[in-house]
Amino acid sequence: MRMRDYFQDKLGLLFLALVSLVMILMLCLAFKVPLEAIWAISCLYLFTLGAMFCLSFFKKKRFYTDFIQNMERLDKKYYILETLSMPNFYEGKILYDGLYVINKAMIEHVKNYELQMDDFKEYIEMWIHEVKIPLATLTLMFHNRKEYDKKVLEQLRRIESYLDQVLYYVRQEFAEKDYLIKKNSLEKMVNNVLVKNKDDFLENQIELEVRDLDFDVFTDSKWTLFILNQIINNSVKYMDDMKDKRIWIFGSEDESSIYLHIRDNGIGIPLQDIPKVFEKSFTGENGRKRSRSTGMGLYISKKLCEKLGHKIWLESREQEYTEVIIAFAKNDYYQVLER
Amino acid sequence: MKKILIVEDDRSIVSELEALLIHAGYAVEILKDFQNALEEVLKILPDLILLDINIPYLNGEVLLQSLRKVSNIPVIMVTSRASETDEVLSMSYGADDYVTKPYNPTILLLRIQAVLKRSEKTLDTVSFKDAVVYIQKGMIKKGDIEVFLTKNEMIIFNYLLNHQNVIVTRDELMTDLWNNNEYINDNALTVNISRLRAKLKEVGLGEAIETRKGMGYILS
């Protein structure tokens, strides 16, 4: 709060005070008050006026200066009240109390939404677990009747995969900490996903080449399984029927990280689409051509990777290959924990 | 015959699981009284328990905890709750394995087999007819004749040995192979089986593996 602005604001009052001074002086002259007395009255008047302004200015200055500065500095503006001390003048108190009430109302409002969100998240999670029970029953039923058609199981697998997409979308969007990082074997996780998708590979006559996976990485295995499943589903989905279909899965490492590569010789991704494949709801040219893409798989995968502290990116050339790489950091901190 | 207890409250899944396990050659018991679950389990005294987390009255984790205070019966948690926290928690309570629904039935059977094997002394050698099979070495010996199997052939033969006199589908063999990091295709499986047959013939077991058309294979 600056002195100049404050006085500018009080210009009207100041003008009124001066007018009243002039009138007092005129009265004094009319009553023939001695000149010395008039001088004394004017001085006293002006001194009182000045003192009054200064007093009220400095009283407010501290509070408002803090208010303005903190407002600028704060990242989350709604915490402003927490940074101010209760002012000792009337208008300040009104403002302070007002802010308090607004804040409280807003917190309650947001809390309400948070609760609704939590309820919704919880409901979705529960619902998905419930749906998985009949899904498991169906899988068993078809398995038990030996003459089942593999295609039925494939469709059940697809339902499961889409269900997982919703589950993990909800988890990454609303859950602060719904994961647990521990040591996991890369080979086991890859194996788990490959066995799950076995029928898809055999049905589509896709050759698999898996090597160099003898690494342990620190991650949440359930989340990683979901991510791998999404990537591999994509590879299967975007195969090139003209070629001998092939997927390579292998690991590598350098000083800082362990890398998992998943490479296919499918239709690839157009150059202009590559930077956007991890965006929400992005389907791109391939998604439109093959017409069954929600554009959520890679988006959710990337989000999950970010939360887990892994990096994920993709290299591709149209008509030639797509390679997704996940980097698991070798974190000394985790190693210490291990010991 | 190994006795497996199913602790699960969804009836349709129980009856399908029962069918699957009976077909795989296990005796099956089903927990009916969830209110006195622990006493029931101890009365039945199974060789292995398939335990769901979401069961009435007390949840599976609590039951597992109280069971572990009195018994070491192997337990496989079977649940639709797929979170690492649940898994780690279950394992720390003393579960032997953790499988999430929906699961591949063959994989479930393999997991059961693995847990059962762990709980008894693992046999490295199995005798079949008048031959001896050294599983770790991948060798079949009959008299002076020794035949060595490749890794794939051993996986197939081992699976057949564990399921003698029942029909084993190609899908089951394939699942077991994939489960052991051997990602082979249909043709390769056919080749492996015919090689295995040829090797069995060398030890006089040429007719051991029979083909059942459209169904699979049977070892007898």
Taking the CA of residue A1 and the nearest CA in chain B, the distance in Å comes to 54
Q: How many C-beta neighbours within 10 Å does residue A120 have?
A: 12
In chain A, residues with a C-beta closer than 8 Å to the C-beta of B189 are none
Of the residues A139, A157, A178, the one at which a domain ends: A178
For A326, list phi and psi in degrees, rounded to 5. -115, 130
- From the list B12, B83, B186, which residue is nearest A137 (CB)? B12
- From the list B10, B19, B175, which residue is nearest A144 (CB)? B19
In chain A, residues with a C-beta closer than 8 Å to the C-beta of B185 are 202, 205, 207
Shared-domain flag, residues A201 and A318: yes
Shared-domain flag, residues B29 and B130: no
- The reply to whether A293 falls in a domain is yes
Instruction: Say what the pLDDT of residue A337 is.
Output: 55
CB A323 within 8 A of CB A249: no
- The reply to whether A95 falls in a domain is no
CB B162 within 8 A of CB B117: no
Taking the CA of residue B87 and the nearest CA in chain A, the distance in Å comes to 10
Shared-domain flag, residues A240 and A332: yes
The pair of structure tokens assigned to A250 is 């292998």
Shared-domain flag, residues B7 and B73: yes
Shared-domain flag, residues B66 and B154: no
Binary contact (B19, A194; C-beta < 8 A): no
Full residue range of the structural domain in which residue B187 is found: 125-219
Binary contact (B185, A180; C-beta < 8 A): no
Q: How far apart are CA A172 and CA A307, in angstroms?
A: 8
- The reply to whether A299 falls in a domain is yes
Angle, helices A221-237/A150-174, rounded to nearest 10 degrees: 130
Q: How far apart are CA B144 and CA B125, in angstroms?
A: 17
Q: How far apart are CA B43 and CA B203, in angstroms?
A: 46
Shared-domain flag, residues A78 and A140: no
Query: One digit per residue, pLDDT tens: chain A, 339 residues?
Result: 788 888 888 889 889 999 999 999 999 989 988 889 889 999 999 999 999 888 888 888 888 988 999 999 998 888 888 888 888 889 889 999 999 999 999 999 999 998 998 898 889 988 998 899 999 999 888 888 866 677 888 888 889 988 989 988 888 877 666 788 889 999 999 999 999 899 889 988 999 999 999 999 999 999 999 999 999 999 998 998 888 999 999 999 998 899 999 999 999 999 988 999 999 888 877 777 775 677 888 999 999 999 888 999 999 999 999 999 999 998 766 555 554
Shared-domain flag, residues B48 and B93: yes
Q: Over the stretch B4-51, which tens digit does the pLDDT of each residue have?
A: 999 998 889 999 999 999 988 899 999 988 888 888 889 889 999 999
CB B62 within 8 A of CB B90: no
Cross-strand pairs, B76: B50, B97
Shared-domain flag, residues A190 and A329: yes
Sign of CA dihedral B118, B120, B123, B124: positive
CB A130 within 8 A of CB A112: no
A105: Cβ contacts below 8 Å, ≥ 6 apart: none
Binary contact (A194, B10; C-beta < 8 A): no
Residue of B nearest to A140 (CA): B16
Shared-domain flag, residues A153 and A224: no
Shared-domain flag, residues A170 and A198: no
CA angle A11, A13, A16 (to 5 degrees): 110
Quick one: which of A153, A249, A237 has its CA closest to A199? A153
Shared-domain flag, residues A121 and A228: no
Full residue range of the structural domain in which residue A66 is found: 3-85
- From the list B13, B174, B186, which residue is nearest A140 (CB)? B13
Shared-domain flag, residues B57 and B105: yes
- The reply to whether A93 falls in a domain is no
Taking the CA of residue A225 and the nearest CA in chain B, the distance in Å comes to 11
Q: At residue A208, what is the residue type? A: L
> How many structural domains does chain B have?
2
The 8-class DSSP code of residue A179 comes to -
CB A47 within 8 A of CB A21: no
**Mutant choice from A129, A163, A176 vs B, greatest count of B C-beta within 10 A:** A129
Instruction: Count residue pairs from A and B with Cβ separation < 8 A.
Output: 92
Of the residues A25, A50, A85, the one at which a domain ends: A85
Shared-domain flag, residues B167 and B84: no
Q: How far apart are CA B59 and CA A30, in angstroms?
A: 100
Shared-domain flag, residues A122 and A202: no
Shared-domain flag, residues B109 and B148: no
ipTM, 2 decimals?
0.82
Of the residues B92, B119, B146, the one at which a domain ends: B119
A249: Cβ contacts below 8 Å, ≥ 6 apart: A190, A194, A208, A209, A210, A211, A213, A260, A261, A262, A263
3-state secondary structure of A199: helix
- The reply to whether A94 falls in a domain is no
In chain A, residues with a C-beta closer than 8 Å to the C-beta of B174 are 198, 202
Shared-domain flag, residues B47 and B149: no
- The reply to whether A215 falls in a domain is yes
The CATH number of whichever domain residue B195 belongs to comes to 1.10.10.10
Shared-domain flag, residues B209 and B115: no
Average pLDDT for chain B: 89
Shared-domain flag, residues A161 and A67: no
Taking the CA of residue A221 and the nearest CA in chain B, the distance in Å comes to 7
Shared-domain flag, residues B113 and B29: yes
Shared-domain flag, residues A320 and A204: yes
> How many structural domains does chain A have?
3
Of the residues B93, B119, B145, the one at which a domain ends: B119
Shared-domain flag, residues A241 and A330: yes
Of the residues A178, A196, A212, the one at which a domain ends: A178
Taking the CA of residue A59 and the nearest CA in chain B, the distance in Å comes to 56
Q: How many C-beta neighbours within 10 Å does residue A22 have?
A: 10
- The reply to whether A225 falls in a domain is yes
Of the residues B78, B97, B119, the one at which a domain ends: B119
The pair of structure tokens assigned to A65 is 């200066």
The pair of structure tokens assigned to B122 is 């693992």
Count H helices and E strands in chain B, helices first: 8, 12
Q: How far apart are CA B150 and CA A138, in angstroms?
A: 36
B98: Cβ contacts below 8 Å, ≥ 6 apart: B76, B77, B79, B86, B87, B90, B91
Shared-domain flag, residues B18 and B96: yes
- From the list A136, A180, A223, which residue is nearest B102 (CB)? A136
Shared-domain flag, residues A187 and A283: yes
Q: How far is CA A54 from CA A26, A47, A60, A257, A324, in A?
A: 27, 11, 10, 65, 69
Q: Over the stretch A113-149, which tens digit does the pLDDT of each residue have?
A: 989 988 988 899 889 988 999 999 998 888 888 666 7
The CATH number of whichever domain residue B31 belongs to comes to 3.40.50.2300
Shared-domain flag, residues B184 and B89: no
Q: How far apart are CA A130 and CA B9, in angstroms?
A: 12
- The reply to whether A286 falls in a domain is yes
